[in-house]
Amino acid sequence: MISSLIVGFAMGWVGSMPLAGAVSIFVFQRGLAGHFRRGMVLASGAAVAEAIWCLIAVVGAEQILSRWPNLETAAKSVGGVILLALGVYFLRSRNTLPTQEDESDQESDTYGMMRREFWLGFVLVAGNISIPFTWLAMITVAVSLGLDPLAGPPWLFAIAVAVGIMGWFTVLLKLLGAFRARFRPSAHERLMKAMGFLLIVVGTLTLIRAWF
């Protein structure tokens, strides 16, 4: 059971580190803008959805895939389209750092705003139906390395994954809080545009891998 917790935490942490992911980019944007609580709430929504997908993968994704082999292609296609859409969103949106007046309003984050951030993070992950197949592959790799992610109950492993995800995003937001003052508005704008372009590239590659 302890090994299941440790492996789940590590997989959740490491799996959240790449900045090419949609959730990572939104959290990164919130962190650079100084909206740290919003970033944490958004990350928590993503962590809950990821834990659910992880649990589905542990319990029965392999059986589902063996019954409907074309489902993986459809799932990857949906994931690719989501990444393309988010990439276009970041390229077209104006990403600016907050002014001093904006920063003074951060204590006024409302319950409704936080709820929207949570559901944004949740939907970004829940809407990507390729995630359980990714988790199935990751678990298979972990087992091949001699690790035992499923030594305990599946729900315990999924919770450990969610905690690992939150652990990484907490560290990311802390780092952004320490270094955000060094970012110029123009640099922030270019960085967000670059991440949008990266999402389009990753989405395109995902679609190519799904169909060719």
User: What pLDDT sits at residue 176?
Assistant: 84
CA distance linking residue 169 with residue 189, whole number of Å: 21
Chunked into runs of 10 residues, the chain (212 residues) has average pLDDT values of 81 77 84 88 95 84 62 70 76 57 52 91 87 76 68 86 94 84 65 76 80 78
User: What pLDDT sits at residue 191?
Assistant: 67
> Is residue 204 within 8 Å of 87, Cβ to Cβ?
no
> Is residue 17 within 8 Å of 36, Cβ to Cβ?
no
> Is residue 2 within 8 Å of 157, Cβ to Cβ?
no
User: What pLDDT sits at residue 34?
Assistant: 82
User: What pLDDT sits at residue 101?
Assistant: 43
For the entire predicted model, the pTM comes to 0.73
